[in-house]
Amino acid sequence: MAKIIIFGIRDFASLAHYYLEKDTEHEVVAFCVSKNYMTSEKEFKGLPIIPFEDIGKIYSPKTYKMFIPMSHRKMNCLRKSIYEKSKMMGYELISYISSKATVFDNIVVGDNCFILENNTIQPFTKIGNNVVLWSGNHIGHHSIICDHAFFTSHVVLSGHCKVGPYSFLGVNSTIRDHIQLGEGSLIGMSASVIHDTEPWGVYTGVPAKKKKISSKEIKI
């Protein structure tokens, strides 16, 4: 059992607290947010809220671990930033894999991953660091998901695919087998991808076509 500090005090943090408390042996001891987002509230879920910049003074990385269940805002770059700062402060980052996910024994999962219920992760899959898989996705065999990616729900990633870092896959999107999604690909809701994608491209439709806008310009 590890003692955990969760980054955030909104919905993702609330859900992470619930999952860790109900589905792991970890103990959540505090929450933290950046100083700029501190309010007059001193507690969340009955636990203290600490400025992120000061947590090392109160909760030593020698004793405590962190979990950063942040959203996909700015194409996952905000989550990556806190992830890297936490590592530089010396914290070990845990991953959460739901006991209700179907996971085989030969997959590889990095740190600070948030993998929720009803995900099916087939054999020979590799999942990088700081990846979020929301509920109900199919991750095909021999596929690779690179760091800082975000899957919403009911995404079908077929076998032998590679998802580039910072990518975002919308609800009910489908990726054909042997596809490579370029870094920062944004795959829209219900899109059907049948060709490799370009870095920082936005793809929508059936079959999916590239939009003129870059995913770096999307405010999500």
**178-to-76, 150, 209, 219 alpha-carbon distances in Å:** 24, 19, 18, 29
Task: Please check the confidence at residue 220 and state whether its pLDDT lies above 80.
Answer: no
Residues 58, 50 contacting (CB under 8 angstroms): yes
Flag whether pLDDT at 65 surpasses 80.
yes
Is pLDDT above 80 for 40? Answer: yes
Tell me which amino acid residue 123 is.
Answer: P
Question: What residues contact residue 120 under an 8 Å CB cut-off, 6+ apart?
Answer: 101, 102, 137, 138, 139
pLDDT score of 197: 98
Give the model's confidence band at 204: pLDDT under 50 very low, under 70 low, under 90 confident, else very high: very high
- Phi then psi for residue 175, to 5 deg, are -120, 120
> Over the stretch 80-104, which tens digit does the pLDDT of each residue have?
999 999 999 999 999 999 999 999 9
For residue 172, the model assigns a pLDDT of: 98
Record the pTM: 0.96
At 189, the pLDDT band (50, 70, 90 cuts) reads: very high
Sheet holding 201-204, edge to edge: 96-97, 114-115, 132-133, 150-151, 168-169, 186-187, 201-204, 209-214
Looking at every residue in the chain, the average pLDDT score rounds to: 97
d(Cα 154, Cα 133) in Å, to the nearest integer?
10
Kindly indicate the confidence band of residue 202, based on its pLDDT and cuts at 50, 70 and 90. very high
pLDDT digits (tens, 9 = 90+) for 123-164: 999 999 999 999 999 999 999 999 999 999 999 999 999 999
Q: What is the mean pLDDT of residues 32-44?
A: 92
Output the six-digit token pair for 144.
Answer: 């690779």
Amino acid at 144: I
Average pLDDT over residues 3-10: 97
Is the CB of residue 146 less than 8 Å from the CB of residue 165?
yes
Distance, in Å, from the CA atom of 160 to the CA atom of 176, rounded to the nearest integer, reads: 9
Q: Give the Cα-Cα-Cα angle 89, 11, 147 (nearest 5 degrees).
A: 50
With a cut of 90, say whether residue 120 has pLDDT above it: yes
Q: Pick the closest to residue 77 from 9, 175, 194, 168 (CA basis).
A: 168
pLDDT at 1: 84
Whether residue 15 is predicted with pLDDT greater than 90 in this model: the reply is yes
* Domains defined for the chain, CATH in brackets: 3-88 (3.40.50.20), 96-206 (2.160.10.10)
**% of the chain residues with pLDDT over 90:** 96
pLDDT at position 39: 87
How far is residue 142's CA from residue 132's CA, in Å, rounded to a whole number?
A: 18
